[in-house]
Amino acid sequence: MKFLINKPHLIFLLAIPIIMLIGILSDDAVLDINVHDTYYIIAYYHLATLISILFGIIGIGYWFMLKANRKLSKRLNLIHIALTFGGILLIWILAQLFRESIMEYNFNNNLTLAIYLIALIAIFGQIIYPINIISGIIKKRNKTSG
């Protein structure tokens, strides 16, 4: 765990092939988002591509900070990783509980609300990334031994 907090770029860059594999293997599966009378339909492959691009940008940003010998906050690294991957994992788990039966409408409404709240928290958690990068740029350089 300490290794991932000190080198957060690894978890983001290593997650890209896994996410792309899931997107490719999902065939014709789509994500339907209903907002009032409008449906937004996104193929899982396109969603996986978008997430992979975002993870690539985040991973490269963390890697640049490591190569520039700038010190990032370990606490902010941990919070960012936990909100990003924990949020994705929780959303996936809750999506598996979604029931198709119309008789359980209240359960599905509450589940949908929970998924939206977790997604919102995970998205707002991405604000931690630029805060951490900016604070790392402002801080003094790491002192190297030797």
More confident residue, 46 or 112: 46
Chain centre to alpha carbon of residue 44: 15
Instruction: Tell me the pLDDT band of 3, cut-offs 50, 70 and 90.
Output: confident
Residues 6+ apart with CB under 8 A from 33: 39, 40, 41, 42
pTM, entire model: 0.81
The confidence score (pLDDT) of residue 100 equals 65
Q: Dihedral through CA 72, CA 75, CA 78, CA 84, nearest 10?
A: -90
User: Would you kindly state where each structural domain of the chain is located, as residue ranges?
Assistant: 2-138
